[in-house]
Amino acid sequence: MKIRMLGRSGLAVSELCLGTMIFGNTTNEEDSIRMILPFVDQGGNFLDTTNVYVSGRSEEIVGTAIRDIRSEVVLATKVRMKTSDHPNGARHLSQAHHAERRRELAAAADGLYRPVPSPCLRPSDADRRDLRALDDLVTSGKVR
């Protein structure tokens, strides 16, 4: 599998990224792990997850699967996605990241995305607040 640089991040990732949206839902844990390990064995090293995939269950499965090969995998996750119908369902970026860290992801996420603006704030306020939170997470070493 071909490897490419991920923007200016310094991370080398496989051209294919394994998405994990169905892990823990239509694909059980055992089958999910049977998908991850051969992907890595064939040269894939880029996995994508988020805190809303099956209410965090997908992240737990990924964490279990990569526990012994964490250094071989580039793990990307997303925050700021709505996790419930509650008015605060789109949690603050750093709160969502800390919740993910409490799951079984073995180490800091390599990549962290904020795919949608906060529904509660004007875009400029959300952008400013989230950029500050992203900078804090990178500076503190919680995200590469």
Angle separating helix axes 123-139 and 93-102, nearest 10 degrees: 40
113 is catalytic: no
Domain count, the chain: 1
Q: Is the pLDDT of residue 56 over 70?
A: yes
pLDDT digits (tens, 9 = 90+) for 76-127: 887 655 555 555 444 444 455 555 554 445 445 777 666 665 566 566 666 7
Quote the mean pLDDT of the chain: 77
The active-site residue out of 53, 74, 109, 143 is: 53
Q: What is the mean pLDDT of residues 34-40?
A: 96
Flag whether 144 is in a domain. no
- For the chain, helix, strand, coil in percent to 5 are 40, 15, 40
Who has greater pLDDT, 81 or 136?
A: 136
- For residue 90, give its domain range: 3-139
CATH number at residue 52: 3.20.20.100
Q: What is the mean pLDDT of residues 13-41?
A: 96
Compute the distance between CA of residue 4 and CA of residue 54 in angstroms, rounded to an integer. Answer: 30
Flag whether 125 is in a domain. yes
